[in-house]
Amino acid sequence: MSPGRTIFLAMPKTAPAPAAARDTDADAIELIAQHRRARFDYHILSTVEAGIVLTGTEVKALRDGKANLTDAFGIVKDGELFLLNLHIGHYGLGNQFNHEPTRTRKLLLHKREIKRLIGAVERDGATLVPLDLHWRRGHAKVTLALGKGKKLHDKREDLKKKDADREIARALRRS
């Protein structure tokens, strides 16, 4: 062999890993915040997962878990969806570049999903309520529900049903 010559050896090809051996955590959801009262206050008609437009300090604050969905709701404006009153606390190291905690944030959905939600909101008088905020594959997502407000008697019925189920479960454990 001469000194300026390179020899390439053929490496044996390996078969791809079976589906069970691949990373199953790719679609894992890491919960950031939850709106627990939403299911009590609204009849949930359908849900959809939407992306959310954030700034850098908002992302870092979410990684610290500084989010509150309690007063948040979605609106339709010019054929787009926005999330109002979602409170994301200040990032501790954000200095003058920190964000406004309750600014209006744009939601990212496919056009047909937006049209379906707009139709339901305008036609049925439904409300867009965020149920939770979570990470999926490193991106912040919000689970948005189409809901109709419950009346007081509906809430009471739900509480009675919940109590009855609890009593049945307690009786089954005893026997």
Q: Is residue 136 part of a domain?
A: yes
3-class SS letters over the chain? CCCCCCCCCCCCCCCCCCHHHCCHHHHCEEEEEECCCHHHHEEEEEEEEEEECCCHHHHHHHHCCCEECCCCEEEEECCEEEEECCEECCCCCCHHHCCCCCCCEEEECCHHHHHHHHHHHHHHCCEEEEEEEEEECCEEEEEEEEEEECCHHHHHHHHHHHHHHHHHHHHHHHC
Q: Is residue 12 part of a domain?
A: no
Q: Is residue 22 part of a domain?
A: no
Report the domain count for the chain.
1
Q: Is residue 17 part of a domain?
A: no
Which residue range is the domain that position 115 belongs to? Answer: 28-174
Q: Is residue 6 part of a domain?
A: no
pLDDT tens for each residue of 100-112: 889 999 999 999 9
The CATH number covering residue 75 comes to: 2.40.280.10
Q: What is the mean pLDDT of the chain?
A: 84
Q: Is residue 7 part of a domain?
A: no
| Region 50-79 average pLDDT | 90
Q: Is residue 117 part of a domain?
A: yes
142/13: higher pLDDT: 142
Q: Is residue 4 part of a domain?
A: no
